[in-house]
Amino acid sequence: MTLIRRLDETAQALAEALPGAAGARILPVPDWLQRAGQEGTLRRPLAWRNTVLATATLRRLHVEYFAIPGEIAVLHVCAFPHLDRALPIFGFDVIAGRDRATGCFLDLSPSVPEAEAMVAAWGGRAAARLPSLGLQRSLPEWTAIFSPQAVAVRPADVAGFDAGLDFGRESLAMLLAAEAPRLQETTAMAAAQRRYVEAQRRNDRTRRMLAGCIGTALADAFIATCLFPLPPAMAEG
């Protein structure tokens, strides 16, 4: 089985399982692949699925599978807590070709002081798992939003690739199971989520890859409204 197929199956399994989380409800999103076809900007064949939902503690949980068949695939999972919940921000991305994974990135990123204990506890697990995941990769300046224990590796082999997928699923399960105490005010959480979104939008590699497949205008629209939208209190308009 190719690594692309493994990513496809992992994304599908997550999309099918997450609606069973406490308080889960599916949020409507456009079919971006269909839209690219309708607007005439689709430049090459793609496999592209986006599932977005909210849960009792998360205002937005996005699972994306994006692939140029036979060449490269990306699994992207990102979760933002409700603005009144003391949780970190979750990010998980795996990039692979048919037989080689080029990146595995995973973090419970800092948000508010009340969530720091959870970030630290997860960081201990990440440090223990890191040797089995692959060769560490350097990160660009915009990733200062991540925790010091963020996983950023190039899996050395299939075992490391599978270990990364397993740890990503475990980390998401830990987030979904967390008690998530309520915050008395939402300003700090909203600001933290805005910082995270604005930093992620500076990742020009994502934008270039999307633009090369669906055109610049549609790539920008997807990033702004689906991939990394601002918190609702700060929505662009």
Tens-digit pLDDT profile for the chain (237 aa)?
A: 799 999 999 999 999 999 999 999 999 999 999 999 999 999 999 999 999 999 999 999 999 999 999 999 999 999 999 999 999 999 999 999 988 999 999 999 999 999 999 999 999 999 999 999 999 999 999 999 999 999 999 999 999 999 999 999 999 999 999 999 999 999 999 999 999 999 999 999 999 999 999 999 999 999 999 999 999 864 443
- Do 32 and 226 touch, CB atoms closer than 8 A? yes
**Dihedral through CA 5, CA 162, CA 127, CA 174, nearest 10?**
70
Statement: the pTM of the whole predicted model exceeds 0.85: yes
Phi, psi torsion values for 113, nearest 5 degrees: -55, -35
CATH number (domain holding residue 72): 3.40.1500.20
Range of the domain at 137: 3-234
Question: For the chain, what is the domain count?
Answer: 1
- Residue 178 structure tokens: 């967390």
